[in-house]
Structure 1
Amino acid sequence: MSDGTPQMQVEGSARDRQIVSARVIVTCPGRNFVTLRIETRSGIVGLGDATLNGRELAVASYLQDHVVPNLIGRDAGRIEDLWQFLYRGAYWRRGPVTMSAIAAVDVALWDIVAKLAKLPLYQMLGGRSREGALVYGHANGRDIAETSDEVRRYIEKGFLAVRAQCAVPGLPKTYGIAVGAKAYEPAESELPLETAWSTSKYLQIVPKLFEQLRVDHGNDIELLHDGHHRMTPIEAARLARDLEPYRLFWLEDATPAENQRSFEIIRRHSVTPLAVGEVFNSIWDCKHLISEQLIDYIRTTIVHAGGITHVRRLADFAGLHQVRTGFHGATDLSPVTMGAALHFDSWVPNFGIQEWMFHSQETEDVFPHDYFFRDGRLFCGESPGHGVSIDEKLAARYPYSPRQLPVARLPDGSMWDW
């Protein structure tokens, strides 16, 4: 079809597919989520996630005030045309707020079209390339021994891949380390929490952590680590080289990638696989990284990069250069994004791995879904659409709660990348 709708029969007339309502739902069942609900004249409802951690209301306003009025009366089946309208028509292109809003519309439309066709979303993309998506969980601890114990617990749960983070001695608070028995959630205060950072201390502890993890757990488990953009390119190169003996699945976000050529320095010095991209919003953020094969995994998410329509182009481009997907999947993405991502993971030929953090029970109740975990993999369901819905009455019991991500400072007080 010339308008970009998947090339299979979509049931109903254009009138049936006409968008009659679109509204934004903001809820906080343990953490804040922004959901877009689109309904057609025939009563089919599609959901899209528009959550942007710490800046949720900016996207909610962009959607409600600027996007929703442009949706009413349009054909939900014209996915490509609507994507181009929202992207090109805005003039002020890209950026996390705009692209998260576009993503919410796009995913909701794919959900609607798949439901109209009475098919699971992955079938609309071209069918399965695999049965389930390999996922990795997050193990962390206050020291190496505690982190190793946590890795063991994930292995016992059936995980085949685990990301490991360890507190840095001498720092009062370290990224990725949970407080008490709670799951790690960085956005924990109404105003940004100021944390301290020392790259030199960090570079001393991380190789020791992975040396011990290989001793304790052998070579069969896949191990990952997140540098969270905190190193300079040459510091990242040093860490990547130091970690080579422990055969990481990947080193993530080793250095900020605004300057994409920074990764050339890391590549020159190490063969540790590299992943980056959870903060990217378009293919242009990673064009050089991919075309020059400076990374091995692209982590750009459906929710922050314009939805399925745009991320599909990005994944195809990555596949041409032997770069695989590794979608961000922390708790700042609602189950709506996870459901859509798993359908995408099931289809995309150059799939690598999917991040998965456990949502709170409150979140699970607000967003019923049909995906499930088994033997180290997540499996999308066979329901029409992406398989995730929302209990609006329950969502209304959890009002928005202001939360922002932390910031980081060096020992001398200088601002640093958190």
Structure 2
Amino acid sequence: MKITDVKIFVCSPGRNFVTVKIHTDEGLTGIGDATLNGREKAVVAYLEDHLVPILIGRDPARIEDIWQYLYRGAYWRRGPVTMAAIAGIDMALWDIKAKAAGMPLYDLLGGASRDRLMCYSHAQGSDIGEAVDAAGALIEKGYRAVRIQAGIPGLPPVYGADGTTTNTASENNLPREELWSTSKYLRHTPGLFEAARNALGWDVELLHDVHHRLTPIEAARLGKDLEPFRLFWMEDAVAAEYQEGFRQIRAHTTTPLAVGEVFNTIWDARLLITEQLIDYIRMTSVHAGGITPLRRVVDLAGVYNVRTGFHGAMDMSPVCLACNIHLGYWAPNFGIQEYSGYPDEALEVFSGTWTMREGHLYPGQGPGHGVEFNEELAARYPYERSYLPVNRLEDGTLWHW
């Protein structure tokens, strides 16, 4: 079998997605996700100008060799653009291999380690009452794990603290600038989880996303303040670059820690995993370079009692979510899967066989990862430039978004 063509698609059925479709001389095709939220066109250029030409004529079954060629063969490697581009190709190759074998992807990876995947979704509100009510509504739908965020008194809407959407722009179509106060956030957040436990009880898992906005000692203080409410995890407590800072956080709190959605390689996670400074690794197939390298991260994490919590927000396409579900079905150290859902139009363009029932995800049982891409329908949703917000402190200092 040989690769005969590789096509790149950019569409916006509710938000922008970059899709890779690989064709072979035996008629099998595979699709992968190469989306990098807010920088989609940079990945398209990397694929079309640099990777696609060197794939034609290669054997798609040699996934490991192709991955090493695309990664090690480039002197300038790593980084989100490079790894998202490689990921799109890698997912498509695994899709082809599983289709050729006539089995679902998780079987090709080694078979199922469980019967279902617990997932969590997002509950948010402009204030504590609204956020707790939103969490209650999810629990009524069957979720047993909910991430809760609430607006902060004295601040305008801020992404990651209330219901503000992720891709937003100001009137001139440039990034919207948001306002942040660490002191107000630290005073407010423990009250959110006290109210949540009082209203929702103790049979539901509660999660919280800090969104990289604290220093290590501030994160340690928050983790200690949240200990009475037994969070499932505190996510992205500090900027991902501050890996050594997790030593300070770990020394002061027993609140479980999760990080990694912006990580691109195993090297980004190595110290955190081997020193057991985190409890959940949040890397995801599209940002980590595909299924091939993410399996290695899962194996390394398992040695050190770190479980998976793959990123699963709408900034990756249903193709990536499907791959994450298959990986989670296989991974012996699976922890939980994020699931924020998709707009209806996205699920029409990307028709998938995975299902979600009563707070649990199930992979499709057909060959491959189970997602198909409708090219004709995708053409009705052209790319729309969008940005993630920019964050500033109250004195105007640029801060972590």
1:3 corresponding residue in structure 2: none
Match among 160, 163, 166 for residue 186 of structure 1: 166
The reply to whether residue 332 of structure 1 matches residue 321 of structure 2 is no
The reply to whether residue 403 of structure 1 matches residue 357 of structure 2 is no
Instruction: Note closer, same or farther for the CA distance 1:320–1:41 as it changes in structure 2 (3 Å cut).
Output: same
- 2:273, 2:301 within 8 Å by CA — same for their partners in 1? yes
2:139 corresponding residue in structure 1: 155
1:320 corresponding residue in structure 2: 303
> How far apart are residue 239 of structure 1 and its match?
0.3
1:116 corresponding residue in structure 2: 100
> How far apart are residue 176 of structure 1 and its match?
3.0
Query: For 1:113-150, what per-residue CA distance to the aligned partner results, in whole angstroms no more than 9, with x for missing partners?
Result: 00001100001100000111110000000111111110
Task: Describe the SS at the equivalent of 1:368.
Answer: strand
2: CA distance, partners of 1:309 / 1:373? 25
2:123 corresponding residue in structure 1: 139
Task: Describe the SS at the equivalent of 1:389.
Answer: strand
* Residues 350-369 of structure 1 mapped to structure 2, 5 A cutoff: 350-369=333-352
Task: Describe the SS at the equivalent of 2:366.
Answer: coil
Amino acid aligned to 1:151 = A
Scaled by the length of structure 1, the TM-score of the pair is 0.94
2:78 corresponding residue in structure 1: 94
1: CA distance, partners of 2:165 / 2:61? 37
The reply to whether residue 258 of structure 1 matches residue 238 of structure 2 is no
2:398 corresponding residue in structure 1: 415
* Residues 174-253 of structure 1 mapped to structure 2, 5 A cutoff: 174-176=158-160, 185-189=165-169, 190-253=173-236
The reply to whether residue 346 of structure 1 matches residue 329 of structure 2 is yes
Amino acid aligned to 2:144 = L
- 2:179, 2:393 within 8 Å by CA — same for their partners in 1? yes
Task: Describe the SS at the equivalent of 1:231.
Answer: coil
Match among 245, 252, 255 for residue 272 of structure 1: 255
Gaps of 5+ in 1: 1-16
2:291 corresponding residue in structure 1: 308
Scaled by the length of structure 2, the TM-score of the pair is 0.98
Query: For 1:341-387, what per-residue CA distance to the aligned partner results, in whole angstroms no more than 9, with x for missing partners?
Result: 10111001100000001100010110000011112110001010000
> How far apart are residue 185 of structure 1 and its match?
2.9
Query: How many correspondences in the alignment?
Result: 398
Aligned Cα RMSD in Å? 0.9
* Residues 26-105 of structure 1 mapped to structure 2, 5 A cutoff: 26-105=10-89
> How far apart are residue 177 of structure 1 and its match?
5.5
1:11 corresponding residue in structure 2: none
- 2:149, 2:162 within 8 Å by CA — same for their partners in 1? no
2: CA distance, partners of 1:113 / 1:169? 52
Segments ≥4 residues shifted beyond 2 Å: 176-179
Amino acid aligned to 1:207 = P
1: CA distance, partners of 2:81 / 2:307? 26
Task: Describe the SS at the equivalent of 1:373.
Answer: strand
2: CA distance, partners of 1:271 / 1:178? 26
Indicate the percent of aligned positions where both proteins have the same amino acid: 59
Gaps of 5+ in 2: none
2:265 corresponding residue in structure 1: 282
- 1:257, 1:263 within 8 Å by CA — same for their partners in 2? no
